[in-house]
């Protein structure tokens, strides 16, 4: 994997951590997630009017990804109802790289070398270490179930989009249509929260939509990288967003133990290096 592709994925991971920090600080996370979805739709509407259509072969993947993203938002919201973010998030993200690598091997024949699997294991270990204290305090049955469900959804749409973007013939068009179909997610949340939307302060609208723009940009970078690198390796590097989120929490939100998080960052850095040298 070239340094340029690695840099793209790590930039996406940082942006992903930023929008998750935005959601974390929100009072009403369901509404904020709906506004994040709306933040995808606004720029995507302009893009689909200007860009050519992606190939017909890729549209089933766009539709499947949209359905799975809906499940992801649902599972994530439910997980946060039953467990703290510091418990739910590392479980959900920690299982993703191995699952994506497994799906990619079964569906598209991408077999990673043993060294890359070692890097994935170090990144997964770093994810757990970053929130070790919270995890040791115990995980409720419902929180665990929804966290695992969230991770499963992430792994599925990661592989679906990886296959779809390679078939699309135009990464920008695939990205735009996938983002535009977040309209259904934003619409569902809008209907569910219709009684409170009118009273939302302008700041909440602005923060949620800004989070959506950041999230959309992050995923666009990941889609681009999937054209050039194995899906499992891309997923593993993207999950370094967990340590970025932990560092943001420590520096800006005054959370956690800096020594443990620094140790997690070192483990994940070694994991990134192993993957980068292996593929």
Q: Residue 108 pLDDT more than 70?
A: yes
Give whole-number Cα distances, 170 to 175, 183, 188, 225, in Å.
9, 21, 29, 13
Q: Which residues touch 7 (CB under 8 Å, ≥6 apart)?
A: none
How confident is the model over 173-192, as pLDDT tens digits?
999 999 999 999 999 989 98
End-to-end, the C-alpha distance of the chain in Å comes to: 5
How confident is the model over 261-265, as a mean pLDDT? 71
Residue 111's pLDDT band, with cuts at 50, 70 and 90, is confident
Domain extent listing, the chain: 3-278
Q: Residue 277 pLDDT more than 70?
A: yes
How confident is the model over 15-38, as a mean pLDDT? 79
Tokens matching residue 169: 């013939």
Q: Are 245 and 218 in contact (CB under 8 A)?
A: no
Return the SS3 of 196.
Answer: helix
How confident is the model over 128-174, as pLDDT tens digits?
776 666 566 666 778 788 888 999 999 999 999 999 999 999 999 99
**Rounded Cα gap, residues 15 and 102, in angstroms:** 26
pLDDT at position 203 = 83
pLDDT at position 201 = 85
Tokens matching residue 266: 């070192």
In the DSSP assignment, the letter for residue 180 is H
Q: What is the 3-state secondary structure (H, E, C) of 4-57?
A: HHHHHHHHHHHHHHHHHHHHHCCCCHHHHHHHHHHHHHHHHHHHHHHCCCCCHH
Mean of all residue pLDDT scores within the chain:
85
């Amino acid at each position: 994997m070239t340094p340029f592709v690695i840099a793209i994925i790590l930039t996406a991971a940082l942006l992903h951590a930023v929008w998750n920090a935005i959601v974390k600080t929100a009072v009403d996370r369901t509404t904020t997630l709906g506004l994040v979805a709306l933040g995808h739709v606004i720029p995507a509407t302009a893009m689909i009017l200007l860009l050519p259509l992606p190939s017909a072969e890729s549209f089933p993947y766009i539709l499947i990804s949209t359905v799975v993203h809906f499940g992801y938002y649902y599972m994530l919201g439910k997980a946060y109802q039953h467990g703290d973010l510091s418990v739910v998030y590392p479980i959900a993200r920690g299982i993703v790289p191995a699952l994506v690598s497994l799906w990619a091997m079964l569906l598209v024949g991408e077999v990673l070398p043993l060294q890359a699997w070692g890097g994935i294991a170090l990144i997964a270990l770093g994810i757990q270490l970053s929130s070790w204290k919270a995890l040791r305090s115990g995980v409720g049955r419902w929180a665990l179930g929804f966290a695992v469900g969230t991770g499963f959804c992430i792994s599925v749409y990661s592989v679906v989009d990886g296959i779809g973007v390679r078939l699309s013939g135009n990464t920008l068009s695939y990205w735009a249509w996938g983002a535009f179909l977040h309209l259904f997610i934003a619409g569902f949340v809008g209907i569910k929260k219709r009684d409170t939307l009118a009273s939302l302060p302008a700041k909440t609208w602005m923060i949620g939509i800004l989070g959506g723009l950041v999230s959309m940009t992050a995923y666009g970078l990941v889609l681009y990288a999937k054209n050039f690198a194995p899906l499992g390796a891309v997923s593993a590097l993207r999950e370094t967003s967990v340590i970025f989120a932990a560092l943001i929490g420590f520096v800006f939100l005054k959370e956690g133990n800096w020594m443990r998080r620094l140790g997690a960052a070192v483990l994940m850095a070694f994991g990134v290096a192993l993957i980068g040298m292996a593929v």
